[in-house]
A = this chain, B = another copy of it.
């Protein structure tokens, strides 16, 4: 076996047969071989680092998304540099900067179609870009069909009987960047109710900033205009949690008197018995990373759109 084969194994070349790879790796482990990322960087003229640009909000969604991205990039021995999107000024600085921390081989942009803000609809960078949790026509993108999720929510609640309410999440006033995830969910929800001949009246839709307390207040308002049993679609799990908390505080039985359906599929919803539309968050992250790796390896396809579908999890909160 030549040094070239060993090198190909180290650099995860697809040209190496699995058996050969296993043999080389076994020998390297025996010798206590640990790859030196610097040597690899210097030899390859690359940073072997990928930037992930993401909103500066501490939600579990991003924790899970990053885990998915990291898992896939880690296999190719790429490192992640997180870049929280604090302001437009910082974004422009990032894209034009020569700072060491910004020398990365590619970009994954989460949740915002930032390209729309630049002339020609393209980011001012020659590095490969992949969007995740946002649809793009200019770059590879991996995203959830949020409108479909809203439609599935309507269908599920229509089957339960009783009045239907919804909690929409509004963007923060000072948010530097906007995303359309929440409005797509409610859009699909309203469209499906309309098509079923049961349109959502304005007073049955409550808007709140993203917080559990917003869900608590929403249920208060709904119970001012309707008596249990009522059905609530909360456009985010954390808001559904607030609805459950307020129902419990009032001694109302969740699932019987107050039915609530969340969105996101956060792991803790299982323990709380909250029905939800699950997003394959980690898998979207992995897919975005895979597409970026292909671009880094020189793939030259037209932009690819990878659409993911939400999955309905029916738990106690909507099991009538």
Query: Which residues of A approach B to under 8 Å, CB–CB?
Result: 37-38, 41, 47-49, 55-58, 60, 62-63, 66, 79-84, 86-87, 97-104, 172, 174, 208-209, 211-214, 216-217, 268
A-B contact pairs, 10 of them (CB 8 A): A48-B99, A55-B58, A56-B62, A58-B58, A58-B84, A62-B86, A79-B97, A79-B99, A79-B100, A208-B213
Please name the 4 residue pairs, one residue from A and one from B, whose CB atoms are nearest each other, closest first: A213-B213, A81-B101, A79-B99, A211-B211
CA gap between A163 and B58 in the complex, in Å: 36
- In the complex, are the beta carbons of A60 and B98 less than 8 A apart? no
Residues on the B chain within 8 Å of A213, using CB: 208-209, 211, 213-214, 216-217
Distance of A67 from chain B, by nearest CB (Å): 9
**Interface pair B101/A49, CB less than 8 Å apart:** yes
A83 near B82 (CB under 8 angstroms)?
Answer: yes
How far apart sit A37 and B102, CA to CA, in the bound complex (Å)? Answer: 12
Smallest distance from the beta carbon of A90 to chain B beta carbons, Å?
8
Q: Tell me how many chains of this kind the complex includes.
A: 2
Whether the Cβ atoms of A57 and B60 lie closer than 8 Å is no
Residue contact A49 to B99, C-beta cutoff 8 Å: yes
Q: Do the beta carbons of A81 and B81 come within 8 Å of each other?
A: yes
Q: Which of B66, B100, B172, B217 contacts A100 (CB 8 A)?
A: B100
In the complex, what distance in Å separates the CA atom of A38 from the CA atom of B83?
21
Asked whether, in the complex, the Cβ of A81 is within 8 Å of the Cβ of B58, the reply is: no
Given the known interface contacts A56-B56, A83-B82, the answer about A100 and B214 at a Cβ–Cβ threshold of 8 Å is no
Quick one: which of A60, A62, A82 has the most chain B CB within 10 A?
A82
A48 touches B100 (CB 8 A): yes
Q: Which residues of B contact A211 (CB under 8 A)?
A: 209, 211-214
Residues of chain B within 8 A (CB-CB) of A87 are: 63
List of B residues within 8 angstroms of A81 by Cβ: 81, 99-101
Contact A49:B100 (CB < 8 A) given known A212-B209, A213-B209, A213-B214: yes
Q: Which of B37, B60, B83, B214 contacts A99 (CB 8 A)?
A: B37
Alpha-carbon separation in the docked complex, A82 to B82 (Å): 7
A86 proximity list for chain B (CB < 8 A): 58, 62-63, 66, 82
CB-CB < 8 A to A41: which residues of B? 100
Residues from chain B with a CB closer than 8 A to the CB of A58 are 55-58, 84, 86, 172
A210 to chain B, nearest CB (A): 8
Q: Which residues of B contact A172 (CB under 8 A)?
A: 58
Q: How far is the CB of A22 from chain B (nearest CB, A)?
A: 26
Q: Given contacts A58-B57, A209-B213, A211-B213, are A101 and B79 in contact (CB under 8 A)?
A: yes
The answer to whether A37 touches B84 (Cβ under 8 A) is no
